[in-house]
Chain A
Amino acid sequence: GIQVEQSPPDLILQEGANSTLRCNFSDSVNNLQWFHQNPWGQLINLFYIPSGTKQNGRLSATTVATERYSLLYISSSQTTDSGVYFCAVGTGANNLFFGTGTRLTVIP
């Protein structure tokens, strides 16, 4: 399967700070999703972004498919942003391969 590496594994931010999370993958993909898992275990879709750049409020994501990485930007972080952020990639109708996540803690 495709190898997915996320960095950093853990991140602590002061409320209001900005951050960048990275996802590297080992093969060409045509499916890439970013998820946020809240402290209760719920996985929420953030972006479907196999290439290009998307923005949704304080979050944005960029995928450079030719260089096999994606970045998730969080601006003006809030305590509700805390949780684990997962990157998952796939090819065609094949399944998603998940990274081990970045655990984000935002402190007031």
Chain B
Amino acid sequence: ETGVTQTPRHLVMGMTNKKSLKCEQHLGHNAMYWYKQSAKKPLELMFVYSLEERVENNSVPSRFSPECPNSSHLFLHLHTLQPEDSALYLCASSQNKGDTQYFGPGTRLTVL
């Protein structure tokens, strides 16, 4: 148990569906992150939020839309995804940006 939870743990969706991934951290951290992990590739940073403000967007397609309503919650809204978006999506948090990161268990996403 790292103090970071993610739901759902598994998700199967069609290309025309809309779904959301949720991340919650119970550590009192100020920074939260979304990563994508595809087979045989390093973890790819998608978004960074610091004090609820998006500070980085690493050229992620607009079909991924993050939302950080408060410092404890982070969402990733998904719409019109492609099969190549199938991956493990990991959320992490840290005290401040650049500090030690703690990861959630991930959501394994399959796009049909």
Contact = CB atoms under 8 A, between A and B. Distances in A.
Interface string B69-96: 0000000000000000000101010001
Given A43-B90, A44-B2, A100-B42, A95 B108 contact: no
A33 B43 contact: no
Interface of B: 2, 33, 37, 40-43, 45, 48, 56, 88, 90, 92, 96-98, 100-103, 105-106, 108
A6 to B, nearest CB: 9
B41 to A, nearest CB: 7
B39 to A, nearest CB: 11
B88 to A, nearest CB: 5
A88 B37 CA distance: 14
A47 to B, nearest CB: 10
Contacts of B33: 95
Contact of A41 (B92, B101, B105): B105
B42 A98 contact: yes
Contacts of A86: 43
Query: What 3 pairs across the A-B complex have the smallest Cβ distances?
Result: A93-B98, A43-B103, A98-B43
B21 to A, nearest CB: 14
Given A33-B100, A41-B88, A92-B98, A99 B106 contact: no
Nearest to B35: A98
A94 interface: yes
B65 to A, nearest CB: 20
